[in-house]
Amino acid sequence: MSDYEFEYETEDEYSNLESEADSLDDLDSEDEIGDVLRADSVHYSFKNKQTAGGLCTHRMRYKPVEADEIEAQLKARVANVDTILQLGADDCTVLLLKYGWNDQKLLEDYTTQEPESLRRECGLGPESRVRARLVRESEPQFLCQICCSDGPLYTFQLSWCDHRYCVDCYVRYIRGGQSALVKCPDTSCALYVRPGELEQLSTFEEQRVRQQEEHENQLRKQSVSGPLTSEEIMAKYQKPLVDSSDEELDEDQESDESAEDALFNFHERHIKQQRLEKQNQRNKILLRRYWYTVVVQYTKKHFKTFKNCPAIDCECFIEYLGFDSDVITSVEEYVAHKYIPIVQCSNGHRFCYACLSEDHAPATCTVVQTWIKTCADETETSHWITANTKDCPKCSSPIEKNGGCNHMTCGECHYQFCWICLGDWSRHKNNYVCTSFNDEESKKEREKQETSRVSLKRYLFYFDLFEIHRVSLKKDTEFLAKLEHRVQEIQQRAKVSWIEAHFYRESIDILLRCRITLMWSYALMFYFKSSAEKGFLERTQSNLSNHVEALSKLFEITPTEKVIKEKEAFLTKSNALKSCHEKCIEKFMESLVLGRISFTSELK
Amino acid sequence: MSRVKRIAKELEDVKKDALSGVTLTLVEEDDLSHLKGTFIGPPGTPYEGGLFEVDIQIPDAYPFKPPLMKFDTKIYHPNISSQTGAICLDILKDAWTPILTLKSSLISLQSLLQSPEPTDPQDAQVAKVYMSDPKKFAETAASWTKIYAPNDNYQPSKTNYDEFVQQSKVQDQDECAKYGIERATVQIFEDMGFPKDKIIGALRKLNLKKIRVDDVQTQQSVLDEILH
């Protein structure tokens, strides 16, 4: 099954690329970029160079890359430096790591300074060579300084020092290191562990683990081949039952998790599994772990060009390649122009390159930050308090009137007052009618209440809409994640190829994406001053909302045969939604970038 | 497994060695993760002859992770909290390596008493006194030693800490010499009003020892680093 899935994945990406390239060609046939796109898998933050209204989108160019690709790049740079210095890849790697990959500075220093002292400073030995047989069996009187175990043990040491420790301790020591550059454990020794030396340790360790596994397997086989006792038979036949229930439990948990942590797309679970396997593989082999650490350190240092995907545990990177524009040269400028640099990693997670939060178009980064803060902030609670309560005139504790007459008695201090004019109740004694209503003071009080009530209502209105979409997005993700196997079911039952059932997945993805857009558009609306433009955007928004609901309805169809029959409807609806979504984003962007809309004072 | 063996061996080694003046004892007979260590204050310092007790917690990952140490004895020192006894010493943090031992850590503490590092203080109050009024500092430290770390077996040779007091003044100039940075280079930036430790930090980060007065470009990059 995994093979099959994998094939699907790659094909999927390929077809996406194709369609994107094709549509580009359609739009602008003289554009060469279509070819570049195919050749180098360069992606763009915006699909179109210009919106329908003619606004230039100043697309950001980027490339989703994986750790392996960066690793290859870095190794190429090591080789490059090596052609000049002729020291071998091992020394060059350490030197480059020491110089933070600044090869210019390294070459300059190497030519101007005395090579020997430079080598010493960078923790390199007198020679570049890596000695053979660094892992070897020790003499019986050997004592490992770290674990105090006696020989004979397998020991490891670096090429140019004689600090020998047992393999177990050395491996554990290296695994505990945070950085890729690890020194010899001896405090007086300045040598770094070089990749070539690590390779010997890594290979030895790998072999030993494999032998151990084989040994265990053999033991297991032997125990199985013997005659079974009645207890063992019991255990054997009970096991499948237990196992399957366990699995079910696990599945439930997983689907809960995936629904919880991911507004992200539908293949999450499958990707998660692949990733875990990859991680295990990498951690098992010391040398691979070494290079991964190098890559992570490198991308952290060059955080302007590389961004790690913010999705939980996603290890993809995005490489920034500049702008397709004469006007905009940096991400900061791009954001200042109110564009949103949304990028998509190889695992399909869409996020904002500038603020590293999930796809939040059409809301700008500032809006998102302010909105999240507003939602979390207690100021909104206090808004509610001012709108719905009055303070006791005597002890100032806030009081909510939940019914009854205007004769109030404070629960705290038992002061009696009139809810309407806040005056002492004794003045109202015999008639339950407030006579001080027209006082200047009570007028002021009412005005104050009025303004705060309007602002609160506005906020709550948009907050409700935002919440509604957030919740239905979550529900959809949950619901659709459970339907993952249905795609397979559709394929099997109807005996169609993956390409025939592909529409189902595609529809789900576009539906989720549009929900995210809708959700953020409401947050954005809250900060818009009312104007004709806002009305126009509201219509676009509700149009999108209608399309979303139309497609969403189709997912209520459950019998598999019917789903296949409705394929036509799925395709029409999701295509309509797709183009409506694009137009909606474009329109919002035009209004924002061209400054056709002004913000309320709530957005600082 | 290796942890138990190693701690047992360390305890044995310390027991055998009477010269260093270091002792290690288990707090509870069957618990190897909690020990108390003692050492004698180094001669020629206000801590001379005092018996200092250190609480030692040994983490599960020992010796791959450093032991957690803090002073049980109250002590007046720039790198040790006068309130909690917390210690600021690199080998007990990121400079730890598995070949260091409890004994070598205690000996490092001993030499920390000999040469305080006021530029990286744990107790800012104490460090301030150490820098501004070394004589007063030495007196306070000596009286704390007498009160909190009494040791009947030891008679201090003299009560003159001139050398120790001198050291704090020299240390200032040492800072440049220690990293091989030219004094005049540091002066350029000191004249601009930047604190010395920041200048040295920036120079070390950029791996510069010397800048010519007319080399404005390099100076600018150092300024960027300092301000960064």
Domains of chain B: 2-156 (3.10.110.10), 179-227 (1.10.8)
Q: Quick check: A292 pLDDT over 60? A: yes
Q: Which amino acid is at B144?
A: W
Question: Looking at per-residue confidence, does A386 or A345 come out higher?
Answer: A345
Residue whose tokens read 């990959």: A101
Nearest chain A Cα distance for residue B62, angstroms: 10
Whether cis (ω within 30° of 0) applies to the bond prior to A362 is: yes
Q: pLDDT tens-digit profile of A439-449?
A: 666 666 667 66
Instruction: List A135's β-bridge partners, or say none.
Output: A156
**The predicted structure's pLDDT at residue A600:** 82
**The predicted structure's pLDDT at residue B171:** 57
Provide the 8-state DSSP code for B17: -
pTM for the model stands at: 0.68
Specify the length of chain A in residues: 604
Q: Is residue A450 part of a domain?
A: no
Tokens (6 digits) for A260 = 């919880």
Are A467 and A396 contained in the same domain? no
Residue whose tokens read 């772990």: A289
Q: pLDDT tens-digit profile of A97-123?
A: 988 898 888 998 888 888 888 888 888
Nearest chain A Cα distance for residue B7, angstroms: 9
Nearest chain A Cα distance for residue B172, angstroms: 25
- State mean pLDDT over A217-225: 75
Highest-confidence segment of A304-313, A445-454, B153-162 = A304-313
Under the banding of pLDDT at 50, 70 and 90, the label for residue A95 is very high
Rounded to whole angstroms, the Cα distance separating A462 from A580 reads 22
B98 interfacial to chain A (CB closer than 8 Å): yes
Residues of A in contact with B32 (CB under 8 A): none
Domain that holds residue A82: 70-121
Q: pLDDT tens-digit profile of A57-85?
A: 888 889 999 888 999 999 999 999 999 98
Rounded to whole angstroms, the Cα distance separating B69 from B24 reads 13
Under the banding of pLDDT at 50, 70 and 90, the label for residue A10 is very low
Residues of A in contact with B98 (CB under 8 A): 146, 169, 173, 185
Q: Is residue A444 part of a domain?
A: no
Q: Under a CB-based contact definition with an 8 Å cutoff, are residues A61 and A325 in contact?
A: no
Rounded to whole angstroms, the Cα distance separating A41 from A50 reads 21
Are A295 and A402 contained in the same domain? no
Report the 10 Å Cβ neighbour count for A493: 15
Q: How many domains does chain A have?
A: 5
> By mean pLDDT, which of A492-501, B6-15, B29-38, B84-93 is the weakest?
A492-501
Under the banding of pLDDT at 50, 70 and 90, the label for residue B57 is very high
CB contact under 8 A, B2 and A185: no
Q: Is residue A102 part of a domain?
A: yes
Q: Under a CB-based contact definition with an 8 Å cutoff, are residues A494 and A564 in contact?
A: yes
Q: Is residue A402 part of a domain?
A: yes
B64 interfacial to chain A (CB closer than 8 Å): yes
Report the 10 Å Cβ neighbour count for B190: 13
Are A87 and A112 contained in the same domain? yes
Of A340, A339, A346, nearest to A319 by C-alpha is A346
Are A58 and A108 contained in the same domain? no
The interface predicted TM-score of the complex, written ipTM, equals 0.71
Under the banding of pLDDT at 50, 70 and 90, the label for residue A244 is very low
Q: Is residue A103 part of a domain?
A: yes
Under the banding of pLDDT at 50, 70 and 90, the label for residue A250 is very low
**The predicted structure's pLDDT at residue A149:** 86
Disruptive mutation site among A95, A184, A187, A189 for chain B (greatest number of B CBs within 10 Å): A187
**The predicted structure's pLDDT at residue A404:** 65
Q: Under a CB-based contact definition with an 8 Å cutoff, are residues A96 and A163 in contact?
A: no
Are A191 and A288 contained in the same domain? no
**The predicted structure's pLDDT at residue A148:** 87
Are A44 and A139 contained in the same domain? no
B209 interfacial to chain A (CB closer than 8 Å): no
- State mean pLDDT over A315-331: 86
**The predicted structure's pLDDT at residue B167:** 66
Are A463 and A560 contained in the same domain? yes
Mean residue pLDDT across chain A: 77
Question: Please, what is the Cα angle at B201 between B196 and B204, to 5 degrees?
Answer: 125
**Is A166 designated active site?**
no
Q: Angle, nearest 10°, between helix axes A67-85 and A286-301?
A: 90
Are A139 and A214 contained in the same domain? yes
Residues of B in contact with A106 (CB under 8 A): none
CATH number of the domain enclosing A181: 3.30.40
Q: Angle, nearest 10°, between helix axes B183-191 and B216-227?
A: 70
Are A325 and A432 contained in the same domain? no
User: Percent of chain A beyond pLDDT 90?
Assistant: 11
- State mean pLDDT over A192-207: 90
Q: Is residue A521 part of a domain?
A: yes
Report, in angstroms and rounded to the nearest whole number, the Rg of chain A calculated over CA atoms: 33
Tokens (6 digits) for B151 = 């040791």
**The predicted structure's pLDDT at residue A184:** 92
Q: Is residue A536 part of a domain?
A: yes
B99 interfacial to chain A (CB closer than 8 Å): yes
Distances (CA, A) of B190 to A195, B64, B200, B223: 42, 41, 10, 11
Of A493, A514, A474, A475, nearest to A563 by C-alpha is A493
> By mean pLDDT, which of A38-52, A242-256, A525-539, B40-54 is the weakest?
A242-256
Mean residue pLDDT across chain B: 84
**The predicted structure's pLDDT at residue A158:** 92
Helices (H), A113-229: 115-121, 167-176, 195-225
Q: Is residue A212 part of a domain?
A: yes
Are A110 and A7 contained in the same domain? no
Q: Quick check: A299 pLDDT over 50? A: yes
Burial of B159 (0-12, 13-18, 19+ CB in 10 A): exposed
**The predicted structure's pLDDT at residue A175:** 87
Are A349 and A397 contained in the same domain? no
Are A175 and A302 contained in the same domain? no
Q: Quick check: A529 pLDDT over 90? A: no
- State mean pLDDT over A217-238: 67
